[in-house]
Structure 1
Amino acid sequence: MKLKLTLVAIALGLASTASYAHKADDIIIRGGAVYVHPKTSSDAVKIDGAKTDLKAKADHDTQLGLNFQYMVTDNLGVELLAATPFSHKISLNNGTNLGKVKQLPPTLSLVWYPLDSNYKVQPYIGAGVNYTFFFNEKLSGEAKDAGFNNGLDLDSSWGWAAQVGLDYSITDNWLVNAQARYIDIKTDATTYAGSQKVTARYKLNPWVAMVSIGYRF
């Protein structure tokens, strides 16, 4: 009798967990904190094409991150990463605060879940393409006092992205998620010092981490 009750309990447990897994045509929306940590420095800053000892760097930032995912099959999904605009301070290695810039890095990825539907814990890997555009570039007062002028401009970027992540189902609909990704972002930054053109090739290539709450429709 005890054995029968145990087998029934196991069967009920499997039946209940099966409903937690992602299924084809599911739509998953996640929201949470996303952290962007760019590479520490750019290539050498050039003045009228001549290399200098200067390099530029951008600080990190945390914003509200949003994920929208559609499950094509039980194991494959298409995911879009979006966020509120990231703001970065750009500075030179001589201590000059060059200015500030905002950016948005929408990233479209194909994600693969290797486990079957009996697991509430669903790890995944993904790869895709990123487009980052920069806006609201502004020179700081300190940079203007140092002789920089005529604004600050950063080119938009196309690149690849790779990620790992983990979904944990709390109920049929609610889940928690953690993910980390590497994004290929590179830009050419341009400003002027008097009549001299100042440029820097900056491969930001940030690591991006996100923790979120999700809802599955």
Structure 2
Amino acid sequence: MKSLRLAACITLLFPLLAHAQIPVSDVDLKRFYARVGASFIYPDDNNTSLKYHIFQDWNLYRTEWDIDDDVGWNISGVWRPLPYFGVELMYTDGADFSLSLDHLKGRPGHERIDFGRFSASSANLFVNWYMMDLDCLGQPYLGIGVNYSDFYDDDLYPEFQNFLINSGIATGPSDFGMRHSWGASAQLGIDWRLGRGVARSWLINAAVIYTDANTDTIVTYTTDPGYQRLYSDFEVNPWTLNLGITYEF
């Protein structure tokens, strides 16, 4: 499904590149946009079960992650040397996600458990195709690019810590760790000019972004003696709605 979404964007974008004829007079190396706004992030919850390195425990068999939505902020800069094409570097941060584990076996009537939390930041580099002339008030665009996501401030909630101890899996405290991710990304957005004249430099922005972001999660728990680990492939793959304001230099 991820590859189909990105392939659709590429199919729309690159035939236009092949037929583009760019007069030298259209090149403007000093056309820049600066943008700031809010990001509404909706993880896709597409993940594998939490499991042991060697064998699966029945209580954790076929568990599923549930990641709460959250709101962060974004800032980006766009270099638009051509009327219909530009390069955008976007940074998103400030989102703090609560994480639950569903379909947990061995707890009749209580198959959902509060697992932990994590924060995430991401950087996207897009190549954008702008569909309208520069003089139009509305500037819709389609972009494809590459994403780097960093997952940090990961922590386990006491409820899952106590579950590991009460189930005889752990004998003491446990730690939760996540890693970074590289993947593809795509966006569909619009800049809308606030008017002509002096107001021409200010635009309202809205964009929908899909990010291919996946990492590994590891729970390290105390045993007697030593320690053991639970692990999972973790695919966040968020949809993000950005709303902001843009200034054109």
> How high is the TM-score relative to the length of structure 1?
0.84
In the alignment, which residue of structure 1 is the partner of 2:108?
none
For residue 29 of structure 1, the aligned residue among 34, 38, 61 is: 34
In the alignment, which residue of structure 2 is the partner of 1:91?
100
In the alignment, which residue of structure 2 is the partner of 1:17?
none
Whose strand fraction is larger, Structure 1's or Structure 2's?
1
Which consecutive residues of structure 1, in runs of 5 or more, have no partner in the other structure? 1-22
Q: Deviations over 1:124-175 (max 9, x none)?
A: 0000000001111111111211126431111110000001001111122100
In the alignment, which residue of structure 1 is the partner of 2:79?
70
Percent pairwise identity? 26
In the alignment, which residue of structure 2 is the partner of 1:59?
68
For residue 173 of structure 1, the aligned residue among 192, 201, 217 is: 201
- 1:30-49 equivalent positions in 2, closer than 5 A: 30-49=35-54
Whose helix fraction is larger, Structure 1's or Structure 2's?
2
Q: Deviations over 1:48-74 (max 9, x none)?
A: 343422122221111122121111222
> How high is the TM-score relative to the length of structure 2?
0.74
One-letter code of the match for 2:211? I
In the alignment, which residue of structure 2 is the partner of 1:110?
127
What's the offset of the Cα at 1:24? Answer: 4.7
Tell me how far apart the structure 2 counterparts of residues 152 and 103 of structure 1 sit (CA, whole Å).
15
Which consecutive residues of structure 2, in runs of 5 or more, have no partner in the other structure? 1-27, 103-110, 165-169
- Higher alpha-carbon deviation: 105-114 or 72-81: 72-81
**Partners of 1:78 and 1:111 within 8 A in 2:** yes
For residue 205 of structure 1, the aligned residue among 229, 234, 237 is: 237
- Higher alpha-carbon deviation: 154-163 or 82-91: 82-91
What's the offset of the Cα at 1:40? Answer: 2.5
**Partners of 2:90 and 2:124 within 8 A in 1:** yes
Secondary structure, counterpart of 2:50 in structure 1: strand
- 1:3-22 equivalent positions in 2, closer than 5 A: none
In the alignment, which residue of structure 2 is the partner of 1:137?
154
Tell me how far apart the structure 2 counterparts of residues 216 and 117 of structure 1 sit (CA, whole Å).
11
One-letter code of the match for 1:209? L
**What is the count of residue pairs matched by the alignment?**
196
For residue 246 of structure 2, the aligned residue among 203, 208, 214 is: 214
Secondary structure, counterpart of 2:159 in structure 1: helix
One-letter code of the match for 2:114? N
Q: Deviations over 1:51-102 (max 9, x none)?
A: 4221222211111221211112222111111123211111100321111111
One-letter code of the match for 2:129? W
In the alignment, which residue of structure 1 is the partner of 2:183?
159
Secondary structure, counterpart of 1:34 in structure 2: strand
